[in-house]
């Protein structure tokens, strides 16, 4: 197969590992920076151009689209889809996962456990937003933040009101979410490929921090998931249409809760923590799914 990995940096661990795994399995692979692509949008022959060449011969693409380029990156993915190129995760699914509000609404409709979340536009609703999630402490999240960025723990109602008022002045879109104290600064990353959780780890926040993201100094250990947690992670990915996803869970008194679904989950933390070759699992999956897609179109 000829595979393109849409990534801005070939030296990033996840991109490098996917290249390595694909070549080891005999595929031709190339890293393409989506921001250096441009599109020819026609009904007769849609095209993607990269610098001065036309990208016409790929069998499949693996999108590694950063949050900051979601709009343009997914447009490139969509253009490849129009050309009949198989995508590991489809553009619509990536867009769903990147909008936290839309993501939670889809998961809610699917009956997946979530922390209580509130959202409003009017400045008159600040106290109601906080009240709806059980009061302070509460978590305030920017709708398009990732890796723990734009996530604030407001320990008092007054602090929450101040943060919310400040975000509104900046015309930022945000959610107010229930704080789960029993999680003790820990969450679980379940790595889903197809209909299976292939790896999982528990991330632990560093002292004085409630966000457990490894990018923010958290640590990680392997963890065994319950059957309920596995099913919830798989259903969350499936509800959004994602074939490969990192599903983040909290263990609460009421059972597991999904807090986020990542469409471009990093490989470094989970491969090093679990000592599993997840990059190869991803390549094996795209081999199978691309073949099924080709047979379907057929």
**How do residues 7-32 score in pLDDT, each as one tens digit?**
999 999 999 999 999 999 999 999 99
Name the phi and psi angles at 194, rounded to 5. 65, -125
105 pLDDT tier (thresholds 50, 70, 90): very high
Same domain, 156 and 191: no
Same domain, 250 and 170: no
pLDDT of 143: 82
207 lies in some domain: yes
Same domain, 209 and 106: yes
Domain total for the chain? 3
CATH of the domain at 221: 3.30.470.20
Same domain, 108 and 219: yes
Kindly state the percentage of the chain with pLDDT values over 90: 72
pLDDT at 124 over 90: no
285 lies in some domain: no
Give the SS3 label for residue 170: coil
pTM of the model: 0.90
149 lies in some domain: yes
CA distance 17 to 11: 9
Q: Read off the tokens for 5.
A: 């990995």
- Name the residue among 115, 68, 86 with its Cα closest to residue 264: 68
Same domain, 41 and 139: no
Whole domain around residue 83: which residue ranges? Answer: 2-89
pLDDT digit string (tens) for 202-233? 998 776 555 555 555 578 999 999 999 999 99
Identify the bridge partners of residue 203 per DSSP, sorted by sequence position: 187, 220
Same domain, 71 and 106: no
pLDDT at 146 over 70: no
Same domain, 104 and 233: yes
Mean pLDDT of the chain, nearest integer: 91
pLDDT of 237: 98
85 lies in some domain: yes
CATH of the domain at 172: 3.30.1490.20
pLDDT of 218: 72
Same domain, 50 and 34: yes
Give the up-direction half-sphere exposure of residue 188: CA atoms within 13 A in the CB hemisphere: 24
Residue whose token pair is 């923010």: 216
215 lies in some domain: yes
CA distance 128 to 160: 12
Same domain, 175 and 188: no
pLDDT digit string (tens) for 53-102? 999 899 999 999 998 899 999 999 999 999 999 999 999 999 999 988 99
Same domain, 65 and 134: no
249 lies in some domain: yes
pLDDT of 62: 98
pLDDT digit string (tens) for 272-288? 999 999 999 999 999 99
pLDDT of 3: 98
Mean pLDDT of 176-199: 93
275 lies in some domain: no
| All residues at 6 or more sequence positions from 201 whose CB lies less than 8 Å from its CB, including other chains | 188, 189, 220, 221, 222, 223, 269, 270, 273, 274
Same domain, 125 and 104: no
| All residues at 6 or more sequence positions from 62 whose CB lies less than 8 Å from its CB, including other chains | 3, 4, 5, 6, 18, 87, 88, 282, 286
298 lies in some domain: no
168 pLDDT tier (thresholds 50, 70, 90): confident
Mean pLDDT of 236-262: 96
| DSSP letter string, 106-157 | HHHHTT-----EE----GGGHHHHHHHTTSSSEEEEETT--TTTTEEEE-SH
Same domain, 142 and 24: no
CATH of the domain at 64: 3.40.50.20
């Amino acid at each position: 197969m000829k595979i393109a990995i849409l990534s801005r940096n070939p030296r990033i661990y996840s991109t490098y590992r996917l290249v390595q795994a694909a070549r080891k399995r005999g595929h031709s692979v190339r890293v393409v920076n989506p921001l250096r692509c441009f599109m020819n949008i026609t009904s007769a022959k849609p095209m993607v151009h990269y610098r001065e060449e036309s990208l016409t011969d790929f069998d499949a693409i693996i999108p590694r689209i950063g949050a900051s380029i979601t709009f343009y990156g997914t447009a490139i993915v969509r253009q490849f889809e129009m050309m009949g190129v198989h995508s590991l995760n489809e553009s619509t699914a990536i867009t769903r996962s990147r909008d936290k509000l839309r993501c939670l609404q889809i998961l809610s409709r699917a009956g997946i456990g979530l922390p209580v979340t509130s959202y409003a536009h009017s400045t008159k609703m600040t106290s109601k937003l906080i009240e709806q999630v059980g009061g302070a402490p509460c978590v305030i999240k920017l709708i398009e933040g990732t890796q723990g960025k734009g996530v604030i723990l407001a320990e008092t109602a007054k602090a929450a009101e101040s943060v919310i008022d400040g975000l509104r002045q900046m015309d930022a879109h945000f959610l107010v979410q229930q704080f789960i104290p029993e999680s003790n600064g820990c969450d679980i990353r379940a790595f889903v490929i197809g209909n299976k959780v292939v790896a999982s780890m528990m991330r632990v926040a560093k002292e004085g921090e409630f966000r457990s993201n490894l990018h923010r100094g958290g640590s990680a250990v392997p963890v065994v998931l319950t059957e309920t947690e596995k099913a919830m992670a798989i259903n969350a990915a499936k509800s959004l249409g994602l074939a490969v996803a990192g599903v983040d869970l909290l263990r609460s008194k009421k059972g597991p809760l999904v807090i986020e679904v990542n469409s471009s989950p990093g490989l470094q933390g989970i491969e090093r923590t679990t000592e599993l070759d997840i990059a190869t699992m991803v390549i094996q999956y795209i081999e199978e799914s691309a073949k099924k897609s080709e047979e379907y179109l057929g």
